[in-house]
Each structure stands twice: as structure tokens, then as C-alpha cells.
A and B are shown apart, each in its own frame.
Chain A
Amino acid sequence: MGLGHYLLLSSALFAIGLYGALAKRNAVVVLMCIELMLNAANIALVAFSRFLVGAALTGQMFAIFVMTVAAAEVAVGLALIISLYRARGTVDLGKIDLLKW
């Protein structure tokens, strides 16, 4: 079990999240896929902090900050989605085309 295994797992999780964030039409599901990508980045950070020379837990601290920002992002993102749902009655990204001319 080396660093490469963990980085490959992280890459695969990131790719899955990227596919979902681009392909899904439900805004909440897109937010979930963004969370998947953040988790993938966190796995890579923690793996680096365990395996690399002189890491001194810096990777784990970065992961803590990533989680903090992710929590803030989800709160604001869901508030946006809910207020959008109130205004337009849908969270379907195909139907939210306010900026289309």
C-alpha cells in the first residue's frame, strides 16, 4: 500500500465527482458532487502528509481548512438553491436560464 494507491483512489473519486457536477441537472446533486471532489482532494492531502518527507501534518491542517470552507460553501449553496426554488419553483439546472438572451 503506497502513496500511489491513495492518489489513484483520490483521482478516481475526483473524476466521479467531476462527471456528476457536469452531467446532473438537479442543483442539490451537483452540490453533492462538488463535496465528492473536495473529499478527493482531502484524501490526497492526508496521504501526502503521511508519506512525504518532512510533512509535519501540514496536509492534515489543509484538510481541516478545506472542511471548514466546504461547510460554509454548502450552507450558502443550499440557501441559494432554496431561495431559487422559492422564486422559480424548480431546482432543475436546465430550466434556470435567467441569463439567457
Chain B
Amino acid sequence: MTISFFVLGAAVLLSALAVVLLRNVFRAGLSLLLCFFGVAGIYITLGADFLAGVQVLIYVGAIGILLLLALMLTREAARGSPEGRLVVPAAVLGGLVLVVLGFAVWRTPWKVVAPALADLPSPQPTTEALGLGLFSLEGGFVLPFEIASVLLLAAIIGAIVLVMERK
């Protein structure tokens, strides 16, 4: 588990760095796909099997491909992905956020079940538990689920309206 976490974590961080540092936007998009795969692996190390599958389906299969298509449609690949005038402030702010979050993570006394992954109870299949949790009447998430459906419908209709050819 430790080895897989470090390999996957390094893959996630390196591919994320490639997304923001590569000049070639298409290569940046492909590294983004690699990063999404790495995050799916991280979910597996956390025992979230269903979420890992959903991550690959939705992020790699839908969102990633949509982003690559948009890169191809906007023909900016030749001009690359230049940095704006905010590079230094953005880097400073990113570093600051990382330092502050790291400090907060380090200083917070988390009420964990066990301090290490190896001492936790072994992960159970989550699909059934997630389904029951989402749709149960007591403390379920039925209303948020329906609202999410309406949101997706509105987003699809809005996207279609936005890209319609003006007659």
C-alpha cells in the first residue's frame, strides 16, 4: 500500500505539473488524463472501488475527452499555452496555499479510527453501501440527487443553446 501510494502520488503530482508547465496544450491534455488515472488509483488505495470506476468513466472517459476535443476545436495548439503576467503572484499564492494547508493538516488532531491504512478494518465493497446511503429514506441523499439531475439537464440544454449557430 505504501509503495503504491507513493508511486501513484508521484504520478499524480508529476502529471499535474506537466499540465501547468508544458507549452504544448495537447500534451498538457494527455497528462491531465494520466493524472485522472492516478487519482483513480489513489481511490483504490483508499478502498473506494466504485468511485475509482466512476472516476475512470466520467473524468477520463467524458471530461478528459471533452477537454481534448475543445483543444482541437479552438486551434490554439499552434500558439501553445503561454503564461500571463500573473506567473509570479500565482506561484507565490500556490506555494502559500500549500504551506498553510500543510500546516493545518499537520497541526490538526484528527479523530482517526487508526493512524495508518494498514491498521484500518479492511475495505468492504462500497457500491451497495453507496446506493443504500444515497437512496434510503432516513438520512439519504434523494433530494440532492434529484437536484443534481435537474442541474445536469439544465447544463446540457445550456451548452446546446450556447453553441447553436445563429440563424
Binding site for B on A (CB under 8 A): 1-9, 11-20, 22-26, 28-29, 31-33, 35-36, 39, 42-43, 46-47, 49-53, 56-58, 60-61, 63-65, 67-76, 78-83, 85, 90-94
Chain B contacts with A in 70-118, Cβ cutoff 8 A:
70-71, 73-74, 76, 79-87, 89-91, 93-95, 97-98, 101-102, 105-106, 110-118
Contacts A32-B67, A53-B112, A61-B133 given; indicate if A81 touches B105 (C-beta within 8 A). no
Query: Shortest distance in angstroms between A14's beta carbon and chain B's nearest beta carbon?
Result: 7
Q: Which residue of B lies closest to A27 (CB)?
A: B74
**Interface SS of B by simple majority:** helix
Total A-B residue contacts, Cβ distance less than 8 Å = 243
Contact, CB under 8 Å: A18 / B97 = yes
Q: B residues engaging A (CB < 8 A)?
A: 1-2, 5, 9, 12-13, 16-17, 19-20, 25, 28-29, 32, 35-36, 39, 42-43, 45-48, 50-51, 54-55, 58-59, 62-63, 66-67, 70-71, 73-74, 76, 79-87, 89-91, 93-95, 97-98, 101-102, 105-106, 110-118, 120, 123, 126, 129-130, 133-134, 141, 144, 148, 151-152, 154-156, 158-160, 162-163
Which residues of chain A are near B115, meaning CB under 8 Å?
2-3
